Structure 1
């Protein structure tokens, strides 16, 4: 038999090496060669037969094309000691296994949500719901879908990753023309929290509603205490591990706290919230404290739209201090914390990626992504596999008017029926991921080169034995 492919030559020794390793390690029984003059015929071992077959193939492959092909059996057979046949393999039976485990360990160092993140296009969800105009969204990790509110209806809806919209809550007992702003999913208690607001010319109303996700019944509706200024605008909500909810007041720059049973109180009126000047001529200058997130180490992060500042708020006593970022986040609207500690902040035109090394005494904006201003993004959520998603709810278009008017507008030509949720990636993180991939591939190539070198030595030693 003549073998023309060099890769085929290495198949035999590779299997032989594996066979030599399997015998002592898996069978836990060392090979003992039978006595040369034994009268009994030893039982043929199929594993060692494979070794013999591979040995014959390699012996044939080492002959020159013009040399006669051996037809007699190889002089070294299964009744010989394979350890003597392959001294390099027998001396280091665990070396190949060690390098294999090392390579697999390095591969697993890559976070699962990053390994294939850039092997696909960003996930874009288009969903149809005439007149919905959602301002906020949250991710439900149990049901694996998004929950969105509505500027023009007293309802909450779910949006699947395929864009299927379903009604979750319709609460007609809320004041007419109420707006659902902030939304938070409290997974441990299997409930969803919604900030309910109505402002002039409607009678002022600010409350937090809680609904059971199983029965879809309302658990409580807690009116939020008025501020001393009398100018109140409930906006966003976050929930801690104990079920306490924290609601921002964008007009009075304060934070409410609502207990698991619905008891509401003013939680923080820190002077830090009013320590920076506000340009009253700038767009949306009336909107102060806005997005809020619970970090999980006993404090909250809250962003302020009209100053571009971020504050760290103690979840026990409400004391606050500004986070030193080295720059402002103009018109910051929503904030969310990723599992790896990265904080995402969205505005009407950007998504910022932030991180901190000192529990948010200081922080840095290490990347930003441009967003579609015309579609007016207002919310950010961390979905499946820690992906960042931005909500395009066309809120500016939807401000003012009733749900019926919005549906009528949607039915007319040019009306709004479609909205979007889109994944946004950090280019900086993508570059870092590629570096990791190159490192792992480089180590894999080095391992393969070492393996080829060992196989070459093994074949050389076998040829010497044959000659």
Structure 2
């Protein structure tokens, strides 16, 4: 990865994760807001495990996955020697697995001299135990270019899709974890020294929706036609990060602290050719919200990462919120 890209990444770190709509699990009572107290955590990705009733979130600074139950009890859930800067997390209850995208921007406690830009992997953990199942290397697809595996979506057959924020690529892992480039397109190309593709979801009508951070666009991507990539019109936001489908298949887009630190909920009546904003929630610019998760109570929850503090050199932040979107 080029040094200029890495330097820019420190000031433009907005990584995403998402979880697709899930159903059929028993609801539990969740608080409208949780406060996590853990010095230097800097959480980034979040998802909710419907099967085991807990939030799972990634820590950019500590290189690990953490779990928090509905009571607010918090602990390390999973890690590995290769998990340096975990970004997006995805709970796949049907297949009992946790999927984690992983990179290295040189700001993790696990980063070493010269390691920035050398890691691009996907880790698969057992969703119940946190035991490592598989790690897949993606760096061979971008040997001479920047790479930052970012967010994750899973289709109805169990195929995994991963965005890359530094290269114009969406990767695919099939059901046997064979890796390939699913789409490479100039529409995905990030501006110089900026983040491109970010949050991604699989829509039940068999296509992908993804945001591009540098251009603040929402894209619809066909699963069957490589050339069928269109911009969804009618949306306005800045610095989009994570995205999530709510229980009604409306789309929640998280605008991080490089924007205003809000969430926007959009609906569509024409299969996401266009969209209309139906809700807006202010989280706070300094809170630096990044990603969102649909929980078992039918509500969407957003995590505040405080990444602005980390990127300014402050590694001592100890209070982070997970809160319900109105």
Band the TM-score falls in, shorter-chain normalisation: 0.7 to 0.9
Say if 2:137 is the partner of 1:223.
yes
Alignment equivalent of 2:285, drawn from 361, 367, 373: 373
Aligned partners of 2:52 and 2:164: how far apart in 1? 30
> Given that residues 88 and 101 in structure 2 are in contact (C-alpha distance below 8 angstroms), is that contact kept between their aligned partners in structure 1?
yes
Alignment equivalent of 2:69, drawn from 153, 160, 163: 160
Alignment equivalent of 1:342, drawn from 233, 250, 262: 250
Which structure 2 residue ranges, 5 or more long, are not aligned? 1-29, 107-113
Which residue of 1 is the match for residue 160 of structure 2? 245
Say if 2:128 is the partner of 1:214.
yes
Which residue of 2 is the match for residue 202 of structure 1? 115
Higher RCO by CA contacts (8 Å cutoff, separation 6 or greater): 2
| Alpha-carbon offset, residue 122 of structure 1 | 7.3
| Alpha-carbon offset, residue 181 of structure 1 | 0.4
What number of residue pairs does the alignment pair up? Answer: 285
> Structure 2 vs 1, CA of residues 218 and 316 (structure 1 numbering), >3 Å: closer, same or farther?
farther
| Alpha-carbon offset, residue 210 of structure 1 | 0.3
> Given that residues 303 and 311 in structure 1 are in contact (C-alpha distance below 8 angstroms), is that contact kept between their aligned partners in structure 2?
yes
Say if 2:19 is the partner of 1:134.
no
Aligned partners of 2:200 and 2:274: how far apart in 1? 17
> Structure 2 vs 1, CA of residues 421 and 301 (structure 1 numbering), >3 Å: closer, same or farther?
same
> Structure 2 vs 1, CA of residues 400 and 157 (structure 1 numbering), >3 Å: closer, same or farther?
farther
Secondary structure at the counterpart of residue 374 of structure 1:
coil
Q: For each residue in 1:42-101, what CA deviation from the matched residue of structure 2 results, as whole angstroms up to 9, or x when unmatched?
A: xxxxxxxxxxxxxxxxxxxxxxxxxxxxxxxxxxxxxxxxxxxxxxxxxxxxxxxxxxxx
| Alpha-carbon offset, residue 250 of structure 1 | 0.5
Dislocated runs of 4+, deviation >3 Å: 316-320
TM-score by length of 2: 0.81
> Structure 2 vs 1, CA of residues 365 and 290 (structure 1 numbering), >3 Å: closer, same or farther?
same
Which residue of 1 is the match for residue 231 of structure 2? 323
Say if 2:200 is the partner of 1:292.
yes
Which of structures 1 and 2 has the bigger CA Rg? 1
Alignment equivalent of 2:183, drawn from 261, 268, 274: 268
Secondary structure at the counterpart of residue 153 of structure 2:
strand
> Given that residues 85 and 105 in structure 2 are in contact (C-alpha distance below 8 angstroms), is that contact kept between their aligned partners in structure 1?
no
Aligned partners of 2:231 and 2:249: how far apart in 1? 15
Mapping of 1:33-112 within 5 angstroms?
A: none
More helix by share: 1
Which residue of 1 is the match for residue 27 of structure 2? none
More strand by share: 2
Secondary structure at the counterpart of residue 230 of structure 1:
coil
| Alpha-carbon offset, residue 397 of structure 1 | 2.0
Secondary structure at the counterpart of residue 156 of structure 2:
coil
| Alpha-carbon offset, residue 152 of structure 1 | 1.7
Mapping of 1:23-42 within 5 angstroms?
A: none
Aligned partners of 2:187 and 2:277: how far apart in 1? 21
> Given that residues 221 and 228 in structure 2 are in contact (C-alpha distance below 8 angstroms), is that contact kept between their aligned partners in structure 1?
yes
> Given that residues 222 and 229 in structure 2 are in contact (C-alpha distance below 8 angstroms), is that contact kept between their aligned partners in structure 1?
no
Which residue of 1 is the match for residue 323 of structure 2? 422
Which residue of 1 is the match for residue 3 of structure 2? none
> Structure 2 vs 1, CA of residues 165 and 125 (structure 1 numbering), >3 Å: closer, same or farther?
same
Which residue of 2 is the match for residue 193 of structure 1? 99
Which structure 1 residue ranges, 5 or more long, are not aligned? 1-120, 410-414, 426-467
Which residue of 2 is the match for residue 124 of structure 1? 33
